[in-house]
Structure formats: C-alpha cells, structure tokens
Amino acid sequence: MAITTTMTNSYKQDVLSGTQTSADTYKIALYTSLATLDASTTAYSSTNEVVGTNYTAGGATLAGFTTGLSGSTAYLTFTNPSWSTSTITARGCLIYNSSKSNKSVAAYDFGGDVTSTAGTFTVNFPAAGASGLIRIA
C-alpha cells in the first residue's frame, strides 16, 4: 500500500473539460498508511480512511478556494483544514469534489504518520504561488 503525492489523472481531464469548478464543494479525507492513493484514484473511498476522535468519515469541507498565477504556473489552494480536540494518526489525504460524485482531485503523502492526541490536527498546505497545493506549470 502506498500514497503518492499527485494530482489525479481524472482531475486533469475534468479541469480541461470544465467539469469541476470553483462553485463546487471540495473536501479532504485523511488516510492511514494502509491506503493506496495515486494518480489512478478516481473518487473518494472510505477504505483505509482514518478512524479517530472528532474525525468523521468523509473528512472536512475545504474553505478558501483560491486560484492564481505565479509566473507561468497556475495554482489552486485552500485554507488549511483542521480537526480540534482530535486523536488521529494519518499518513496522507485525498482532496475530492463532493459536488461531483466525490471525484478525486489530488492525493498527498505526509512522508510518515502524523498524529494528534486530544489536540488539533492540521493539514498545512503550501503557500499560494508557484509551489502551491495544486499547480499546472
């Protein structure tokens, strides 16, 4: 099992066809090290999703949809999501579009297990710009 940091192939096609838009609702789900998430992931699945205190299956709704251009790199980012007073161990996450049949957007490997114990679990996205969360160069 492995999580690969990548924009999913289906999302690339959706962007070019205009299927997924800024008016949609995007979510982030957290996964254990047993999950397999990569470019071929097409939709959210609860298989190997985190089970923890103050974490609900399906994850959290993302806020702050922001796009921009840095040089010749287009980017998309969101506000950092967090789960307060949570006990969670996650290896990675999947961003997906709940407005469009839970279609996948991108998968991220945290590089190792990240844990919160009765504290706040926050996913820190890269700053907006050329190294932004989701980018097309």
Query: Is 68:131 a contact under the CB 8 Å cutoff?
Result: no
pLDDT averaged per 10 residues, the chain (length 137): 93 93 96 98 98 96 94 93 97 98 97 97 90 85
Q: Is the Cα torsion angle 4, 5, 6, 7 positive or negative in sign?
A: positive
Residue-range definition of the domain harbouring residue 43: 6-136
Q: pTM of the prediction?
A: 0.95
In a domain, 21, yes or no: yes
Sequence-distant (≥ 6) Cβ neighbours of residue 101 within 8 angstroms: 43
In a domain, 1, yes or no: no
In a domain, 24, yes or no: yes
The number of C-alpha atoms within 13 Å of 130 and in the hemisphere containing its C-beta is 4
